[in-house]
Structure 1
Amino acid sequence: MAITEVLKKIKDYFGLIIISGAFLIAAFIVAYNNFVVPKGIEYVSRAGDTVDLIAESFETTAEKILAANPGLDARKVMPAGTRVTIPSNATGKLTVIRIAHWQLEPGVRDGLNYMAAEYQKLHPNVRVVQNAVPESTYGQWFVTQMVGGTPADLMELGKVAYPLMVSYYMRYFMPLTEYITQPNPYNNNNEFAGIPLRETTKDGLKNSYIPEIQEYMGIGLSQFLVRIYYNKTLLAKLAGYTNAPADWREFMDACEKIRKHKYINRKVKKELALYQEKADRIAARIGALDASQHSGEIARLKQELDAVVDTTNAIMKTVPYYVAVANSAYQMGSIENNMFNVVTSKARDILDFNHDCTVSVTETYLGFKTKKIDLNYGPYKAKFSLVSNFCKNCMPGFVGLNRDDGVLLFVQQRGLFLSTGTWDAGMLDEQAKDNGFEVGVMEFPLPTKDDPEFGQYMEGPAFEDPATGFMFGCPTPENEPARRKAAVDFLLFMSSKENNIKLNTMIGWIPCVQGAEGTGILKYFVPHSEGVSSGLNFGIGGESIIKWQQMYALYQVGQISFDKLRDDFTPFYIDRGYKDYLTMMKNWRRNQIVDEKNLTTLRIKAFAATDTNRRDEYFTKYRYVMLRPLTREVDTSYELSLMKSAQNKDFVIPDAYRFSDYARARRGMR
């Protein structure tokens, strides 16, 4: 009866309850977005701050700000980093900014939360909210946020097709060129004071520069490299190596020794221990009996012992062997470039017709079409021999596995070697400690130059030109100046020397600032600034690349031989490659609409600009973007003429430059 009366009362006063609830929520929002400044708090000025702007932000007066800070000049823009005492009891309006990323590795969220807390100490009117999105769905989420007009104030850049990303840069993102080419105010107290931000990083933030727009659109916070992690504990136990294998032969020897051992997990180990204990008891009973007096009992016990042994052997037959390399299709990409392709670099002497030190898809096709080269070429056969021997030490069917499968195999201590980047370093180190083993980092084990089979093809390791990653851009609209200003300033805060080192140390990554090294196992990550590039490139697209990927995967898992791969793929590639190239060119022309959109945007900005210097800058960029497709058209037309001519049997590829007789003799060229 009481419940019925309560429900009736709620029904009678439902409208009043709703109004009261709305009032309380509104009051909470107002209280949340405003706070009373405690006595003596300091605000650190950002670029462009004036006394009037700070007073407006904290809902006080310029006179009170000047009274609390006698040295300030209300008529001037104060230098970034100036500490300003805020009058007590001033009411500050909170600015909430959001930062979104796909990094779910341990330490990333803690590191960003720490940076947010430190930033709030300097800017008490700013709150930073973090939004971590799974990597597999980040691309779709990114596009949805952009189109829906609800992006975070700082968005990690990536996981979206580059042409689409360029259009988003033009439409939504704020150019950061003026900040990257100017000193970072948060570096005022270190050796980078007065030095432009890009010159304080290891790579000059080169991948933050978007040539289609002629602007820097993001700021990266970390540097990433790829190496091989290995289980130090098991490597010593199973293969007898106290140090990492130094070259290809040592690596193969270690893998062979590892594969001879069976991987016995805890459950099986416990089960085997029970049977061993039972066998020991039976053996002890047999030994205690007198054979002349208990022959029947002894015979029965021996049968029982044989049954236990048979059961143990049956269990052992189901136990898998250790896998030397914890691999997957994801990890295979880095292994391909750093271990296998290095022996193909000499093919550049034959295929690099334009002498740009790389072998393009068209140069590879022209070489095969004109029979200047084929898969019987020595360095190519050496590569496939490396691939075959390496893949024998991987999990069967690894080409169908993904990144997490390879990592899980390593963490479970069933696989001893894992190729991955610094983004997994902290997680692997933490998992190793939890699972009772020590993890190490090694270079890719390459053949030495005196290797009897591969040494003649070795010219050096793979060239590495690592770029700064973990890059963020700011898509906050212009009609939210407070959020936009705070977002960019927080990004500058994280990119300063001390904060960047602290952030990456907490995450377990390599800082992007010059002179800063990784800690722990990361100190072994040093890029190869001198190295070689691949001399084989089948990525012409269309049916050709699909055919190649299918057959190469079958070869990797040992289902077809090299002869089968060569004999089936080569004629298909030669016959189909030209058609696939034409399709690729059609797709390229379809993408020219992006340049046209960029031209329109730049032209509008130029006409709308009120500042003369700004207008000239936009017109300069407009001319560059207008000329870019024209210069590309010249290169494409030349490539197309070569591809067309190559369909004739007597075609000879012209060199853009020719080697002298001396140079050809020195290089051993025919």
Structure 2
Amino acid sequence: MDSLKEFVKKYFGILIIAAAFVVSAVIVTVNNVQVADTQYVIKTGDTLARIAEEYQTTVEKLCEENYPDLSPAVPLTPGSKIKLPRESRAKLITVRLAHWNLEPGAREGVNLMIKRYTALHPNVRIVQEAIPESTYAQWYTTQMVGHTPADLMHEAGVAYPLLISYYIRYFTPLTEYVMKPNPYNKGTEFENTPLRDTIKDGLRSCYNADLQEYMTIGLAQHLVRMYYNKSMLKKVTGSDDPPKTFKEFMDVCALIAKEPYYDTAARKSIASYSNELVRLSAERQKKSSDAARIDAQIAEQRRMLDEAVRTGKRMMPIANSKYHMNAVENWLFNAITSKARTIVDYNHDCSVSAVEQYIAMKLKRIDMNYGPYRAKFEIVSNYCAYSVPGFAGLNRDDAVMSFIQSRSLFIPTGTWEAGMLQKQAEDNGFELGVMDFPYPGPDSPELYKYMEGPAFEDPWGSFKFAVATPESDPERRRTTIDFLLFMVAKDNNIALNDITGWPPYVKGAPAKGVLKYFVPHPDGVLPGMNFSIGGESVIKWQQLYTLYWVGQVSYDKFRADFEPYYLSRGYQDYLTVNKNWRRSLAADEKQLSIMRAKAMRSVNAEAAGDLWHKYRYVMMRPLTREVDVSYERALLQSAEQGNVSMGNAYEYSPGARARLGMPVQ
């Protein structure tokens, strides 16, 4: 025994190195172990020769094992199963998936998909990597630059030109798979339907017009609404029916601000002190001999109760932050400005560009004293007055925490929060409700007269993944694409989103729980205000707008400070932005050279023709943009010099005015 101890002591370092080597060898062996299986699920693009090679067997043995259903002359059907020879073995394929959705349910939903997929394909191992949202863009860029991306990369928050360059160099276009039926939809009504036509928006949000390709496939769909604490609403108003109009919404907010409604922690403290006072009072009546001690305890409890009432956090009507203001800006505040399009929308595309806004302002066709603009800022002022104090400096998580702790009654956010808010509501003892945005109604005649309808909504695909597996590993890339198709198949996509709490992306999926209240407004209106001409003007707007949120400037002061600055700086800011745009031409040239090389290298005539078509489109884009910019610059210069005259964007005939109920001019 002593000699053994002496040996270990003498060669301890060598033994540690040897042990580390053995452990590493075991890990490598496990990662490359050949996994036995009895069945194989046919994937898109499979051939008998490829399957035989992967499982170290022969085509003859495969056909013999599956006789008479399988032969070299019978085409393979994706999604069907074949038996493998008992002695067949396959190496383990590892696929990495990375995303930034850390909300409860997201990782669990992906884990369910991994479990189901690996049950069908035991020779595949899938590793999920969840990266915090705050660092995902930097992590994404680092992985791409270092040539170490995950096989499935969640669409990143990097600059769009940089994302396009990554798509061209590193990612696999998915158009081929989008245009074919998904093999994992076998046995459903979508069995023979192209994948694109099984999705709610036809995968429109996954299509990249600059590359003329489907570069991602989404797994969920999102929309923004107003959530509310149904239990507290009933306590405040006597009913759990949410407010329908903006005035009703403001009336509920006023009730909360007027009465001392406390958050969950404060209510518990107040209830505890109150219950203790009741107990001590009952004890005081029974024990007259110990009255002095009990009286002292009662006095102390009353002091603590008064302190809890005085310092307890009271409920504020709206959980808000800078992040959440962006949501209501698009879906609530701007809807009332849509009438301005009849004046400003010169190119008749139903939206207002920054150039159109500046020209109309410069020619005095419209100004910030325009009725719908003033109405928007009135809504903003009233909304912000009932938001949590200091919301302009809070982040997304602060507002969510305020809501789930019952410190706020309302919170505007999207379906990506639905599952988490539902679970937190259950854990914190209140019922969650969802309501449409409260637009001005007939009970607010001074605002309602400007309303043309709710904001137009086009629900967008989300949880979108692109395939970054290198061409040098075709088997892993094929498996990666197959797993993505597996997750977007109808039954699997519904199961995935049942766990995430998000709306499924596939057609025909039933809405469950609070998600049934998320019905889009496809016939809504677009905003009629756009001051984002760029440069210093945008910075000035953001500074004044934030001050307006917190009540430090009035609208008249806002208008007096911003409008002259905007009219004097706007043209130069536009020129600066377009000077920066010209710098992107180098990136366009790089993109064109890559597309040209792919087209020239293609040996398939049909594929080459498609590549050349896309090349011509991308080549024309800078030229088309140059024409548009030249036209915009000419208009802006003429407006700057005051030598152009333009009327309203739309003119209505007397008959049209009569039909629309407009005053006859």
Deviation at 1:308, TM superposition (A): 7.4
Q: How does 1:123-142 map to 2 (within 5 A)?
A: 123-142=121-140
CA distance in 2, matches of 1:386, 1:460: 15
Structure 1: runs of 5 or more not aligned: 290-296
Match for 2:526 among 514, 527, 533? 533
Asked if residue 437 in structure 1 is aligned to residue 433 in structure 2, the reply is no
CA contact (8 A) 1:50 1:74 kept: no
Match for 1:321 among 314, 318, 323? 314
CA distance in 2, matches of 1:333, 1:630: 34
Deviation at 1:280, TM superposition (A): 8.6
CA distance in 1, matches of 2:583, 2:657: 42
- Deviating more after overlay: 148-157 vs 245-254: 245-254
CA distance in 1, matches of 2:195, 2:645: 50
Q: Percent of aligned positions with the same letter in both sequences?
A: 50
CA distance in 2, matches of 1:247, 1:416: 16
CA distance in 1, matches of 2:649, 2:557: 35
CA contact (8 A) 2:35 2:92 kept: no
CA contact (8 A) 2:342 2:648 kept: no
Q: Which residue of 2 aligns with 1:189?
A: 187
Query: Any idea what SS the aligned residue of 2:117 has?
Result: helix
CA 284–100 in structure 1, closer or farther in 2 if over 3 Å, else same: closer
CA distance in 2, matches of 1:27, 1:276: 63
Deviation at 1:318, TM superposition (A): 2.3
CA contact (8 A) 1:36 1:89 kept: no
Q: Which residue of 1 aligns with 2:59?
A: 62
Deviation at 1:12, TM superposition (A): 3.1
Deviation at 1:636, TM superposition (A): 1.1
Q: Which residue of 1 aligns with 2:24?
A: 25
CA 668–213 in structure 1, closer or farther in 2 if over 3 Å, else same: farther
CA 308–216 in structure 1, closer or farther in 2 if over 3 Å, else same: closer
CA contact (8 A) 1:205 1:467 kept: no
Deviation at 1:603, TM superposition (A): 0.9
Q: Which residue of 2 aligns with 1:262?
A: 261
Deviations along 1:432-468, one digit per CA (max 9) or x if unpaired, are 1111111011000111146322110111100011121
CA contact (8 A) 2:600 2:608 kept: yes
Asked if residue 372 in structure 1 is aligned to residue 371 in structure 2, the reply is no
Q: Which residue of 1 aligns with 2:542?
A: 549
CA contact (8 A) 1:49 1:77 kept: no
Q: Which residue of 1 aligns with 2:11?
A: 12
Q: How does 1:373-452 map to 2 (within 5 A)?
A: 373-449=366-442, 451-452=444-445
Deviation at 1:18, TM superposition (A): 3.2
CA 664–639 in structure 1, closer or farther in 2 if over 3 Å, else same: farther
Amino acid at match of 1:122: L
Q: Which residue of 2 aligns with 1:579?
A: 572
CA distance in 1, matches of 2:198, 2:173: 19
Q: How does 1:601-620 map to 2 (within 5 A)?
A: 601-620=594-613
CA contact (8 A) 2:365 2:648 kept: no
Note the aligned Cα RMSD (angstroms).
2.8
Deviations along 1:554-610, one digit per CA (max 9) or x if unpaired, are 111111111111111111111111111111111111112222111111111111111
CA contact (8 A) 2:247 2:443 kept: no
CA contact (8 A) 1:283 1:305 kept: no
CA 380–55 in structure 1, closer or farther in 2 if over 3 Å, else same: same
CA 313–194 in structure 1, closer or farther in 2 if over 3 Å, else same: same
Asked if residue 362 in structure 1 is aligned to residue 360 in structure 2, the reply is no
TM-score, with normalisation over the residues of structure 2?
0.93
Deviation at 1:339, TM superposition (A): 1.2
CA distance in 1, matches of 2:473, 2:272: 68
Q: Which residue of 2 aligns with 1:509?
A: 502
CA distance in 2, matches of 1:264, 1:65: 67
CA 282–615 in structure 1, closer or farther in 2 if over 3 Å, else same: closer
Match for 1:352 among 333, 345, 354? 345
CA distance in 2, matches of 1:20, 1:306: 70
CA distance in 1, matches of 2:6, 2:206: 61
Deviation at 1:54, TM superposition (A): 1.0
Deviation at 1:321, TM superposition (A): 2.6
CA 10–72 in structure 1, closer or farther in 2 if over 3 Å, else same: farther
Q: Which residue of 1 aligns with 2:590?
A: 597
- Deviating more after overlay: 557-566 vs 72-81: 72-81
Asked if residue 232 in structure 1 is aligned to residue 230 in structure 2, the reply is yes
Q: Which residue of 1 aligns with 2:248?
A: 250
CA 282–30 in structure 1, closer or farther in 2 if over 3 Å, else same: closer
Asked if residue 205 in structure 1 is aligned to residue 203 in structure 2, the reply is yes
CA distance in 2, matches of 1:418, 1:276: 32
Amino acid at match of 1:262: Y
CA contact (8 A) 1:173 1:476 kept: yes
Deviation at 1:662, TM superposition (A): 5.4
CA distance in 1, matches of 2:261, 2:26: 66
CA contact (8 A) 2:280 2:298 kept: no
CA distance in 2, matches of 1:609, 1:121: 37
CA distance in 2, matches of 1:577, 1:134: 38
Q: Which residue of 2 aligns with 1:52?
A: 49
TM-score, with normalisation over the residues of structure 1?
0.92
Q: How does 1:444-463 map to 2 (within 5 A)?
A: 444-449=437-442, 451-463=444-456
CA distance in 2, matches of 1:610, 1:647: 54
CA contact (8 A) 1:422 1:510 kept: yes
Deviation at 1:79, TM superposition (A): 2.0
CA contact (8 A) 1:466 1:527 kept: yes
Structure 2: runs of 5 or more not aligned: none
CA 271–583 in structure 1, closer or farther in 2 if over 3 Å, else same: same
Q: Which residue of 2 aligns with 1:152?
A: 150
Deviation at 1:306, TM superposition (A): 8.5
CA 59–19 in structure 1, closer or farther in 2 if over 3 Å, else same: farther
Asked if residue 343 in structure 1 is aligned to residue 309 in structure 2, the reply is no
Match for 2:623 among 618, 630, 650? 630
Deviation at 1:34, TM superposition (A): 2.1
Q: Which residue of 2 aligns with 1:292?
A: none
